[in-house]
Amino acid sequence: MKNIKCRILTFLLILSTMSNFAQTKKLVESFKVGTVGYNLYSQDGKPNLGVADTSFYLLYRVGNTKLIAKEIKKITEKSSGEVHLNTIYEIFPKSIIFKREGFTDDAYRKYTQNNKGLLSFKKYGVPVAMTPPPPSSGTVKYAVENTGEPNQVDILPEYPGGINNARKFVGERVEYPSEALENNIEGTIIVTFDIAQDGSITEVKIDKGLGYGLDEEVVRVIWTMPKWSPAKLDGKYVKYRMRMPISFNLGE
């Protein structure tokens, strides 16, 4: 019995150590915007069973434990090490900007010093990118449908366990961003993505967005999906584009 207890305690200790390691913050830079000091940290995301790992930027005011901003730093595919998204930051006299490399000039998030000397969110560009899931309340409704014409393939792609499992995957992982909650943002986002010949997710795009962190949160979750069974045409695996509407509603 003692050996069993020892093994259990050792296992719990390992889990605790892994969790603490994954959530360790590392100081990236200390700087000032105006007369106010800020610390920018990097942090690895929690381990997951998806195909990609995510790290984040965390922005704090010096001497304050309240998180001001949480932006995705990098998303890396586990199997190949390919970087799907890399974010850089630039500090200006009265603002800090987070830019997604490889996107248009509008694909950035800007925090500007207001008349009280504090940073506030001022501008949002809608990139094909991702943003972190802050703790949230509110409900998420979701559905999945095809936009490809069925007669273009002989066999449609299939999520492991069927489409209901795909809905469950999205519903359990999409968070309602605090920025959207604070501004009472509701509505439906349309996200499209390709399922490649090997079943992996590629080319994730927002066809209809809502902003306020919702678009990036949806795309972030899509990128973490496991492989699908790919579509087939004439006995060969082919790429297929899927469409997913996701509705955010604060009233339920």
Please report the pLDDT score of residue 128 as a whole number: 36
- Predicted pLDDT at 170: 83
CA dist 214 and 200 (Å) reads 23
Residue 35 — left, alpha, or beta (φ > 0 → left; ψ -120 to 50 → alpha)?
A: alpha
Alpha-carbon gap, residue 106 to 99, rounded angstroms: 9
The CA-atom distances, in angstroms, between 201 and each of 65, 84, 227 are 37, 11, 7
Residues 6+ apart with CB under 8 A from 122: 95, 110, 111, 112
The string of pLDDT tens digits covering residues 93-133 is 888 888 877 665 556 778 888 777 777 765 554 433 333 33
Q: Which two tokens stand for residue 115?
A: 């008349």
Amino acid identity, position 132:
P
Taking the alpha carbons of 118, 124, 130, 136 in that order, is the dihedral positive or negative? positive
Dihedral of the CA atoms 158, 162, 166, 172 (nearest 10)? -160
Q: What is the pTM of this model?
A: 0.47
- CA nearest neighbour of 227 among 78, 74, 44: 78
pLDDT digits (tens, 9 = 90+) for 175-194: 777 777 767 788 888 888 98
